[in-house]
Amino acid sequence: MAASDTAHAVAAATLPRHVAIIMDGNGRWAKKRHLPRLAGHKMGVEAVRKVTRAARAMGIEALTLYAFSSENWRRPEEEVGDLMGLLRHFIKSDLAELVSENVRLRVIGDYRRFSTDTVALIDDAMARTGSNTGPLLVIALNYGSQAELARAAQELARRARDGEMAVEAIDADAIDGLLETHDLPPLDLLIRTSGEQRLSNFLLWQAAYAELLFVDTLWPDFNAETLAEAIAAFGRRQRRFGGL
């Protein structure tokens, strides 16, 4: 095997199947430049385009992006409106590319709390990419991991109460099967930008054995190169999953 072939094989062996990103730092990016927060969010959307394209080129099967948390409603009404406007613009402007690139768009979280026109855009985008067979682009909208786990627990409790399953049958697989990510590849790598080192109620269950990587780069500055650096760092990790 040639050296280049060996390098390619090693790279493929260490490539994460599923990467998730907490996209943090838009506001700080704008503040450093004495710009309004909206300017940071607009550049954050550009970063989404760069990173999703780079992830596809690398062969990553699933990319999950934390776009709007269930706690983000606490932000000023004007900023929430700006974020919703950017979301609608992204869908309208980028859907054709997702379709042509064979990308499957998924949304996790209670996005139906958004405005009727936004929900319609999301539903249409998922429908138009639903038959694609390529990589998954998963957007977390109005998502909170604790609420997701609570819903799973409530459903399992209902099934046990109604005699549909034994209490003893409630295990990790039963919980996992009721999460919105149940049909995604296991989460391999979770990245948070901007230097913050917390999960912020994102994929708490799914991250149990994921590699965590906290980088100082503000999200608008995150690009194909910084993603490649993160993937390289993942490749240097030794994943034991509790073993030796």
> How confident is the model over 198-238, as pLDDT tens digits?
999 999 999 999 999 999 999 999 999 999 999 999 999 88
188 is catalytic: no
The pLDDT tens digits for 45-71 are 999 999 999 999 999 999 999 999 999
Q: Is the pLDDT of residue 101 over 50?
A: yes
> Which pLDDT score is estimated for 238?
84
State yes or no: pLDDT of 13 exceeds 90.
no
- Residue 64, number of CB atoms within 10 A of its CB: 25
Of 5, 72, 117, 124, which one is the catalytic site residue?
Answer: 72
Is 142 catalytic? The answer is no
Residue 120 in this model has a pLDDT that exceeds 90: yes
Using CA atoms, how far apart are residues 53 and 67, in angstroms rounded to an integer? 17
pLDDT above 60: residue 7: no
Give the active site residue among 5, 24, 132, 223: 24
Q: Does domain 17-235 have CATH number 3.40.1180.10?
A: yes
Output the pLDDT for position 3: 37
Q: How confident is the model at residue 8 (pLDDT cuts 50, 70, 90)?
A: very low
Residues making up the annotated binding site for Mg(2+) are 24, 211
pLDDT cut 90: percent of the chain above it = 91
pLDDT band, very low/low/confident/very high, at 12 (cuts 50, 70, 90): low
3-state secondary structure the chain: CCHHHHHHHHHHHCCCCEEEEECCCHHHHHHHCCCCHHHHHHHHHHHHHHHHHHHHHHCCCEEEEEEEECCHHHCCHHHHHHHHHHHHHHHHHHHHHHHHCCCEEEEECCHHHCCHHHHHHHHHHHHHHCCCCCCEEEEEEEECHHHHHHHHHHHHHHHHHCCCCCHHHCCHHHHHCCCCCCCCCCCCEEEECCCCCCCCCCCCCCCCCCEEEECCCCHHHCCHHHHHHHHHHHHHCCCCCCCC
Whether 244 has a pLDDT exceeding 90, the answer reads: no
